[in-house]
Amino acid sequence: MNLAKISSNGQITVPVEIRRLLGLKSGDKILFLQKPNGEIVVCNASAQAIRKAQAAFSGVAEEMGVYNEDDIQALVDEIRYGKER
């Protein structure tokens, strides 16, 4: 168990073990999420944003017919040079 004390300004210092677990470094932001059961969860905001973006883009490559690096290069060539795949 890790405890943190809240300062009079509402600031906390995240214990080093938790910073390591969350992959946090100086200047990073943390996100506080409330679960439906009322529990509060602390997350690395950058990691959470990446997971959200990954979920939003899930399946898009397949819909566009992009399955490997050659397909990506063909798509880039099409955009750059107007060549069809």
Does residue 26 lie in a domain region? Answer: yes
Read off the pLDDT band of 83 (50, 70, 90). low
Domain containing residue 75: 16-81
Output the pTM of the full model.
Answer: 0.55
Residue 85 has pLDDT above 90, yes or no: no
Strands 40-44 and 30-34, bridge-based pairing = antiparallel
Per the domain annotation, does 60 fall within a domain? yes
- Asked whether residue 47 is domain-assigned, the answer is yes
Mean pLDDT of the chain: 88
pLDDT at 55: 83
Q: Which of 4-8, 42-46, 62-66 has the lowest mean pLDDT?
A: 62-66
Kindly state whether residue 9 falls inside one of the protein's structural domains: no
Q: Residue length, the chain? A: 85
Total number of domains in the chain: 1
